[in-house]
Amino acid sequence: MKQFKNFKAVYEKPRGKRFILLTKNIVPGKKVYDEPLIKDKGIEYREWNPNRSKLAAALMKGINDIHIKENDYILYLGAASGTTASHLSDIIGNKGFIYAVDFSPRVVRDLVFVAENRKNIAPILADASKPETYYKNISNVDVIYQDIAQREQADIFLGNFKFLKNNGTAILCVKARSVDIAKKPKQIFKEMRERLEKETKIIDYKELGPFEKDHAIFICKKK
Ligand SMILES: C[S@@+](CC[C@H](N)C(=O)[O-])C[C@H]1O[C@@H](n2cnc3c(N)ncnc32)[C@H](O)[C@@H]1O
Protein backbone atom coordinates (compact mmCIF):
# COMPACT_ATOMS: atom_id res chain seq x y z
CA MET A 1 0.00 0.00 0.00
CA LYS A 2 1.42 3.35 -0.99
CA GLN A 3 0.66 6.84 0.32
CA PHE A 4 -1.54 8.80 -2.10
CA LYS A 5 0.52 11.77 -3.35
CA ASN A 6 1.37 14.04 -0.39
CA PHE A 7 -1.76 13.07 1.60
CA LYS A 8 -0.33 11.54 4.75
CA ALA A 9 -3.21 9.32 5.90
CA VAL A 10 -4.65 8.47 2.48
CA TYR A 11 -3.42 5.46 0.52
CA GLU A 12 -3.70 4.11 -3.00
CA LYS A 13 -3.59 0.63 -4.45
CA PRO A 14 -3.60 -0.33 -8.12
CA ARG A 15 -6.75 -1.95 -9.47
CA GLY A 16 -6.65 -2.88 -13.15
CA LYS A 17 -5.51 0.15 -15.12
CA ARG A 18 -6.60 2.54 -12.37
CA PHE A 19 -6.22 2.73 -8.62
CA ILE A 20 -8.40 2.86 -5.53
CA LEU A 21 -8.19 5.15 -2.49
CA LEU A 22 -8.05 3.84 1.05
CA THR A 23 -7.77 4.97 4.66
CA LYS A 24 -6.27 2.99 7.52
CA ASN A 25 -9.12 1.49 9.58
CA ILE A 26 -8.87 2.77 13.16
CA VAL A 27 -11.45 0.13 14.15
CA PRO A 28 -10.08 -3.05 12.53
CA GLY A 29 -12.71 -5.59 11.54
CA LYS A 30 -15.54 -3.02 11.43
CA LYS A 31 -17.13 -1.60 8.30
CA VAL A 32 -19.20 1.60 8.30
CA TYR A 33 -21.09 1.14 5.04
CA ASP A 34 -20.43 -1.59 2.48
CA GLU A 35 -16.78 -0.65 1.90
CA PRO A 36 -14.35 -3.52 1.29
CA LEU A 37 -11.70 -4.05 3.99
CA ILE A 38 -8.27 -4.77 2.57
CA LYS A 39 -5.26 -6.11 4.53
CA ASP A 40 -1.68 -5.32 3.63
CA LYS A 41 1.34 -6.26 5.76
CA GLY A 42 -0.91 -6.85 8.77
CA ILE A 43 -2.65 -3.45 8.52
CA GLU A 44 -6.31 -3.12 7.63
CA TYR A 45 -7.50 -0.43 5.22
CA ARG A 46 -10.99 0.66 4.14
CA GLU A 47 -11.67 1.39 0.49
CA TRP A 48 -12.79 5.01 0.02
CA ASN A 49 -15.28 5.18 -2.83
CA PRO A 50 -15.29 8.46 -4.85
CA ASN A 51 -18.84 7.73 -5.99
CA ARG A 52 -20.00 7.73 -2.36
CA SER A 53 -17.89 10.56 -0.95
CA LYS A 54 -17.34 14.02 -2.46
CA LEU A 55 -14.04 14.37 -0.65
CA ALA A 56 -12.72 11.17 -2.23
CA ALA A 57 -14.02 12.47 -5.59
CA ALA A 58 -12.06 15.70 -5.02
CA LEU A 59 -8.89 13.68 -4.38
CA MET A 60 -9.46 11.69 -7.56
CA LYS A 61 -10.01 14.95 -9.47
CA GLY A 62 -6.59 16.20 -8.38
CA ILE A 63 -7.28 18.64 -5.55
CA ASN A 64 -3.90 19.89 -4.30
CA ASP A 65 -4.44 19.50 -0.58
CA ILE A 66 -7.45 18.82 1.63
CA HIS A 67 -5.65 20.36 4.65
CA ILE A 68 -6.90 17.65 7.01
CA LYS A 69 -4.29 15.90 9.13
CA GLU A 70 -3.77 13.70 12.16
CA ASN A 71 -5.11 15.17 15.45
CA ASP A 72 -7.30 17.79 13.72
CA TYR A 73 -10.63 18.89 15.16
CA ILE A 74 -13.38 19.03 12.53
CA LEU A 75 -16.85 20.53 12.44
CA TYR A 76 -18.73 18.42 9.89
CA LEU A 77 -22.01 19.93 8.71
CA GLY A 78 -24.28 17.42 7.00
CA ALA A 79 -22.55 14.29 8.29
CA ALA A 80 -25.50 12.02 7.37
CA SER A 81 -24.87 8.41 8.43
CA GLY A 82 -21.12 8.87 8.51
CA THR A 83 -19.74 7.62 5.19
CA THR A 84 -17.22 10.44 4.62
CA ALA A 85 -17.01 11.25 8.35
CA SER A 86 -15.72 7.72 8.99
CA HIS A 87 -12.83 8.20 6.55
CA LEU A 88 -12.03 11.55 8.17
CA SER A 89 -12.13 9.73 11.50
CA ASP A 90 -9.46 7.34 10.13
CA ILE A 91 -7.35 10.27 8.87
CA ILE A 92 -7.37 12.35 12.07
CA GLY A 93 -6.90 9.32 14.33
CA ASN A 94 -7.89 8.90 17.95
CA LYS A 95 -6.44 12.22 19.10
CA GLY A 96 -8.48 14.17 16.56
CA PHE A 97 -12.21 14.81 16.89
CA ILE A 98 -15.26 15.31 14.68
CA TYR A 99 -18.36 17.24 15.72
CA ALA A 100 -20.77 15.62 13.29
CA VAL A 101 -23.88 17.75 12.78
CA ASP A 102 -26.99 16.66 10.91
CA PHE A 103 -30.62 17.67 11.35
CA SER A 104 -32.18 14.40 10.26
CA PRO A 105 -32.97 12.12 13.24
CA ARG A 106 -32.98 9.08 10.94
CA VAL A 107 -29.36 9.50 9.81
CA VAL A 108 -28.14 10.65 13.22
CA ARG A 109 -29.44 7.36 14.64
CA ASP A 110 -27.09 5.51 12.24
CA LEU A 111 -24.29 7.92 13.11
CA VAL A 112 -24.69 7.12 16.80
CA PHE A 113 -23.90 3.45 15.99
CA VAL A 114 -20.81 4.54 14.01
CA ALA A 115 -19.70 6.72 16.94
CA GLU A 116 -20.04 3.80 19.37
CA ASN A 117 -16.98 2.26 17.74
CA ARG A 118 -15.28 5.48 16.67
CA LYS A 119 -14.61 7.47 19.79
CA ASN A 120 -13.44 10.48 17.78
CA ILE A 121 -16.94 11.22 16.40
CA ALA A 122 -19.64 13.06 18.36
CA PRO A 123 -23.03 13.05 16.59
CA ILE A 124 -24.97 16.29 17.08
CA LEU A 125 -28.63 16.46 16.07
CA ALA A 126 -28.96 20.11 15.05
CA ASP A 127 -29.74 22.47 12.21
CA ALA A 128 -26.47 23.87 10.81
CA SER A 129 -28.26 27.11 9.94
CA LYS A 130 -28.72 27.68 13.68
CA PRO A 131 -25.21 27.50 15.14
CA GLU A 132 -26.50 29.19 18.29
CA THR A 133 -28.19 25.87 19.16
CA TYR A 134 -24.91 23.91 19.32
CA TYR A 135 -22.13 26.41 20.03
CA LYS A 136 -21.97 25.25 23.66
CA ASN A 137 -21.22 21.67 22.56
CA ILE A 138 -18.19 22.42 20.39
CA SER A 139 -14.77 24.03 20.57
CA ASN A 140 -12.94 25.90 17.82
CA VAL A 141 -11.87 23.65 14.98
CA ASP A 142 -9.04 23.22 12.46
CA VAL A 143 -11.45 22.29 9.68
CA ILE A 144 -15.06 22.93 8.74
CA TYR A 145 -16.39 20.46 6.18
CA GLN A 146 -19.86 21.10 4.79
CA ASP A 147 -21.92 18.84 2.55
CA ILE A 148 -25.49 20.09 2.78
CA ALA A 149 -27.86 20.02 -0.17
CA GLN A 150 -29.73 23.24 0.63
CA ARG A 151 -30.50 26.45 -1.20
CA GLU A 152 -28.79 28.48 1.55
CA GLN A 153 -25.55 26.44 1.46
CA ALA A 154 -23.33 29.52 1.39
CA ASP A 155 -25.12 31.28 4.28
CA ILE A 156 -24.90 28.15 6.42
CA PHE A 157 -21.20 27.71 5.59
CA LEU A 158 -20.25 31.31 6.36
CA GLY A 159 -22.48 31.33 9.45
CA ASN A 160 -20.27 28.63 10.97
CA PHE A 161 -16.95 30.38 10.30
CA LYS A 162 -16.92 31.67 13.85
CA PHE A 163 -15.91 28.16 14.94
CA LEU A 164 -12.88 28.07 12.63
CA LYS A 165 -9.40 28.72 14.05
CA ASN A 166 -7.60 31.62 12.38
CA ASN A 167 -5.35 29.42 10.26
CA GLY A 168 -8.06 26.78 9.77
CA THR A 169 -9.52 25.44 6.52
CA ALA A 170 -13.15 25.39 5.44
CA ILE A 171 -14.32 23.00 2.75
CA LEU A 172 -17.64 23.46 0.98
CA CYS A 173 -19.28 20.87 -1.26
CA VAL A 174 -21.79 22.57 -3.52
CA LYS A 175 -24.72 20.81 -5.12
CA ALA A 176 -25.73 23.14 -7.94
CA ARG A 177 -29.24 21.76 -8.34
CA SER A 178 -30.09 22.49 -4.72
CA VAL A 179 -29.13 26.14 -5.07
CA ASP A 180 -31.19 26.77 -8.21
CA ILE A 181 -32.58 24.04 -10.47
CA ALA A 182 -33.20 26.52 -13.30
CA LYS A 183 -29.59 27.73 -13.64
CA LYS A 184 -26.66 25.99 -15.30
CA PRO A 185 -24.29 24.42 -12.71
CA LYS A 186 -21.34 26.44 -14.13
CA GLN A 187 -23.27 29.65 -13.43
CA ILE A 188 -24.07 28.54 -9.87
CA PHE A 189 -20.40 27.71 -9.23
CA LYS A 190 -19.37 31.14 -10.59
CA GLU A 191 -21.87 32.92 -8.35
CA MET A 192 -20.80 30.81 -5.39
CA ARG A 193 -17.17 31.77 -6.03
CA GLU A 194 -18.09 35.47 -6.10
CA ARG A 195 -20.04 35.11 -2.88
CA LEU A 196 -17.29 33.20 -1.05
CA GLU A 197 -14.55 35.53 -2.30
CA LYS A 198 -16.19 38.42 -0.47
CA GLU A 199 -15.64 36.74 2.90
CA THR A 200 -12.97 34.07 2.43
CA LYS A 201 -9.82 33.29 0.50
CA ILE A 202 -10.43 30.42 -1.93
CA ILE A 203 -7.30 28.29 -2.20
CA ASP A 204 -8.57 25.45 -4.38
CA TYR A 205 -11.60 24.40 -6.38
CA LYS A 206 -12.64 21.34 -8.37
CA GLU A 207 -15.76 20.23 -10.16
CA LEU A 208 -16.56 16.67 -9.12
CA GLY A 209 -18.03 15.07 -12.26
CA PRO A 210 -18.21 12.28 -13.30
CA PHE A 211 -18.10 10.99 -9.71
CA GLU A 212 -20.68 13.54 -8.46
CA LYS A 213 -22.56 15.20 -11.30
CA ASP A 214 -23.22 18.96 -10.93
CA HIS A 215 -21.20 19.19 -7.71
CA ALA A 216 -18.09 21.24 -6.95
CA ILE A 217 -15.82 21.64 -3.96
CA PHE A 218 -14.25 24.87 -2.66
CA ILE A 219 -11.35 24.92 -0.21
CA CYS A 220 -11.22 28.21 1.71
CA LYS A 221 -9.24 29.99 4.39
CA LYS A 222 -10.25 32.87 6.62
CA LYS A 223 -9.36 36.23 5.09
C1 LIG B 1 -25.56 14.72 0.82
S2 LIG B 1 -25.94 14.31 2.45
C3 LIG B 1 -24.37 14.25 3.23
C4 LIG B 1 -23.51 13.05 2.89
C5 LIG B 1 -22.28 12.97 3.78
N6 LIG B 1 -21.61 14.25 3.84
C7 LIG B 1 -21.26 11.95 3.33
O8 LIG B 1 -20.44 12.24 2.44
O9 LIG B 1 -21.25 10.86 3.90
C10 LIG B 1 -26.57 15.83 3.07
C11 LIG B 1 -26.95 15.80 4.54
O12 LIG B 1 -27.17 17.13 4.97
C13 LIG B 1 -28.17 17.12 5.96
N14 LIG B 1 -28.68 18.51 6.08
C15 LIG B 1 -29.32 19.25 5.14
N16 LIG B 1 -29.61 20.48 5.62
C17 LIG B 1 -29.11 20.52 6.88
C18 LIG B 1 -29.07 21.51 7.90
N19 LIG B 1 -29.60 22.72 7.70
N20 LIG B 1 -28.47 21.22 9.07
C21 LIG B 1 -27.94 19.99 9.28
N22 LIG B 1 -27.95 19.00 8.37
C23 LIG B 1 -28.52 19.25 7.18
C24 LIG B 1 -29.18 16.10 5.45
O25 LIG B 1 -29.99 15.62 6.51
C26 LIG B 1 -28.25 15.05 4.85
O27 LIG B 1 -28.00 14.01 5.77
For domain 55-222, the question of CATH label 3.30.565.10 is answered with no
Q: Which of the four pLDDT bands, split at 50, 70 and 90, describes residue 180? A: confident
Instruction: Please tell me the predicted confidence (pLDDT) of residue 33.
Output: 95
Spatial distance between the Cα atoms of 11 and 9, rounded to a whole number of angstroms: 7
For domain 2-49, the question of CATH label 3.30.200.20 is answered with yes
Instruction: Please tell me the predicted confidence (pLDDT) of residue 87.
Output: 98
Pocket flag, ligand 1, residue 102 (CB < 6 Å): yes
pLDDT tens digits, residue range 186-197? 999 999 999 999
pLDDT tens digits, residue range 41-94? 999 999 999 999 999 999 999 999 999 999 999 999 999 999 999 999 999 999
Q: Which of 211, 189, 192 is nearest to 200 (CA)?
A: 192
Hey, whose CA ends up nearest to atom 12 of ligand 1?
A: 78
Q: How remote is the CA of residue 58 from the centroid of ligand 1, in Å?
A: 18
Pocket flag, ligand 1, residue 72 (CB < 6 Å): no
Predicted confidence (pLDDT) at residue 179 exceeds the cutoff of 90:
no
Pocket flag, ligand 1, residue 109 (CB < 6 Å): no
Pocket flag, ligand 1, residue 83 (CB < 6 Å): yes
Q: Which of the four pLDDT bands, split at 50, 70 and 90, describes residue 182? A: confident
Q: Count H helices, E strands: the chain?
A: 6, 12
Q: How remote is the CA of residue 128 from the centroid of ligand 1, in Å?
A: 9
Predicted confidence (pLDDT) at residue 165 exceeds the cutoff of 90:
yes
Residue extent(s) of CATH 3.30.200.20 domains in the chain? 2-49
pLDDT tens digits, residue range 123-155? 999 999 999 999 999 999 999 999 998 899 999
CA distances from 30 to 22, 101, 115, 199 (A): 15, 22, 12, 41
Hey, whose CA ends up nearest to atom 7 of ligand 1?
A: 84
Ligand 1 pocket mutation pick from 32, 35, 68, 104 by most atoms within 8 angstroms of CB: 104
**Where do the H-state alpha helices sit in 9-130?**
54-60, 83-92, 105-117
